[in-house]
Each structure stands twice: as C-alpha cells, then as structure tokens.
Amino acid sequence: MFLSDKDIKVAVQKGDIRIDGFDEARLNPASYDILLGNKFFATDPHTTPFIDPVNKIFPPMHEINVQDGEAFVLHPGFSILGYSLDFFGTDKYLIQLNGKSSLARIGLLVHASAPIINPGHYLNVALELFNLNNVPILLRPKMRVGQLTFSILSNDTSRTYRETGRYVDDNIKGWVPERDAFGKAQKQKTQTPNRAAARSRAERDKTQNTEPIIQKVEFVQHVMPEMIVKNQKPNNKMPNKIQIPNIKNQTEPAKAPGKSHLPKPKKEKVRLPKGQKIQFKKGTRGH
C-alpha cells in the first residue's frame, strides 16, 4: 500500500520520513517530486576498453559540477550519473524512485534498474540518466527530475540498510565492496581497465607456451576483438624478407618491324561423315 499525499505530509511532520527542504508544493496525490542536483559523474570512453563487473573492473569516472543557471548537455546514447538535490530517507517505509512522464516522453531515463531505496538508507539518490532520443537533452540543476513513492512494510525488518548497505557512508561514489553477513565491508581490490590490461600483458610475456592465451573477457570478443591475445613462437622456417623481382631492369625482346607478336592460330581439320559433301552457293569458291 502506498502513502497518499496526506500520509506523506503527516509522516514528514512526525519524523517518520526525512526530506530536507520539504516543499508541500511538490506533493502529488501519491508521490513527492525531487529535484536534480549540481553534481554529475561521466565515464571516460577513450580510456575504457571494457567493464567487467564480476572481476570488479570498472571504468574511471570524472566529476562534473554544473552551476545553477547552467546546463549539462546529455547527448543521444550517453549514460551518466546524476544525484538528487534532495536528501531523504526513512526507517519505516520502502521508498521507490520513479521517473516523470513529461521526461519519459522526450526519451530521458531517470534510473536504469535500481528504483528501490531500503529502510535505513538516507541519501542523495543516484540517478542513472540516459538519453534515448536522437537529439541532445539539457539537464539543469533544480529541475524536477523524478518522484518518490512510499510503501508500508508488512512487518518490521530484522536489519536495516544502515547495517547491511554498501553506500551508507557516502552514496555519491561508484562501485564499493559488498558487506558480509555481519555488516563489515569485504576487502576486494578493484582494478581499472588500464591496470587489468597491463597485468595481462605481464602474464603474457612470462608465458612461453605456444598455445593461444585468451584473457577472461571472452564475452566481449564480438565487440573488442583486440582483447583476444595470442602468444606464439615465430616460425624459423619462414623467410624474414620476401624478394620481389625487379621488373624494370628486365629487357624486352626486340620486335621485328611490320610483324605481329601475337601467337598464330592453330589450323584444325574438320572431318565430315562419310558420304556428306560441302555445298557452296553460286558465286563462291569451292572444290
């Protein structure tokens, strides 16, 4: 069951829901509009050969701060991370992030596949912004970018996101290690694609086997064929250089004047069946 606008207002007043800078004018019948913040994160495509979530290989990203009154130009087919200006959260309800119909109609996705905000998570929510249109879309800070809905849980939770979540301390960052069953962050080393490629090159140089070495990126072979590396010993039987004859230095045979150098056609005898003769028309040579 979702909270109505009246229930959302009462829950904010009681402290069951925290929304910093709560504005009653942004209340919808069963949701609350949130605003876009000033901070964006974009991937560097020229330094990102691939992304491997299983092996914790993620692309480097750079932060972009857009001032009020300015705009971020989101080009077609590009995906970036943005963050809400609103800081919110609750321990009692399940929050879900949804897009705006007016923005969906122009091809702007607000979140890719992560709409759920668990109880105990207080944050400036990350927005996976993607342009599905064929023209650029201007993203302006403090524009209405999404809406929140609040659901009642069937029972109290045994643990909250504050104990199990990986983005409790700081939600404005990229990938971080998961927490274990006791709420402690697992120590896992993340590699950038550049480090992973350098490591694979070092392992390739140490290997003397003639069998081809294939990196653990077979799933991107159809789009990144250069990532498939083969290490084979050179064949000593093959010549180092290929000698090409010098055609210019060759002398041509002398041509006799008035005679053709084309080959003469061969004369072939035609045999007729016995008793058959060749008949010629009158005025032609025969016999």
pLDDT in tens, 32-91: 999 999 999 998 878 888 889 888 888 888 899 999 999 999 999 999 999 999 999 999
Give the mean pLDDT of 164-188.
60
| 226 classed as catalytic | no
Give the mean pLDDT of 250-261.
56
Q: Which residue has the tokens 């090159």?
A: 201
243 vs 163: CA distance, rounded Å: 73
Q: What is the pTM of this model?
A: 0.61
97 vs 80: CA distance, rounded Å: 17
Nearest to 74, CA basis, from 113, 142, 130: 130
Burial annotation 118-129 (CB, 10 A radius, 16+ → b, else e): bbbbbbbbbbeb
CA 99 remoteness from chain centre? 22
Q: What string of H, E and C letters represents the secondary structure of the chain? A: CECCHHHHHHHHHHCCEEECCCCHHHECCCCEEEEEEEEEEEECHHHCCCCECCCCECCCEEEEECCCCCCEEECCCCEEEEEECCCEEECCEEEEEECCHHHHCCCEECCCCCCEECCCCCECCEEEEEECCCCCEEECCCCEEEEEEEEECCCCCCCCHHHHCCCCCCCCCCCCCCECCCCCECCCCCECHHHHHHHHHHHHHHCCCCCCCCCCCHHHCCCCHHHCCCCCCCCCCCCCCCCCCCCCCCCCCCCCCCCCCCCCCCCCCCCCCCCCCCCCCCCCCCC
Report pLDDT for 200: 52
Nearest to 142, CA basis, from 97, 85, 104, 100: 85
Average pLDDT of the chain to the nearest whole number: 76
Go through the domains of the chain in sequence order and give each one's CATH number.
5-164 (2.70.40.10)
**Among 24, 63, 70, 128, which one carries the catalytic annotation?**
128
Give the mean pLDDT of 147-168.
88
86 vs 95: CA distance, rounded Å: 14
pLDDT digits (tens, 9 = 90+) for 213-231: 333 333 333 333 333 333 4
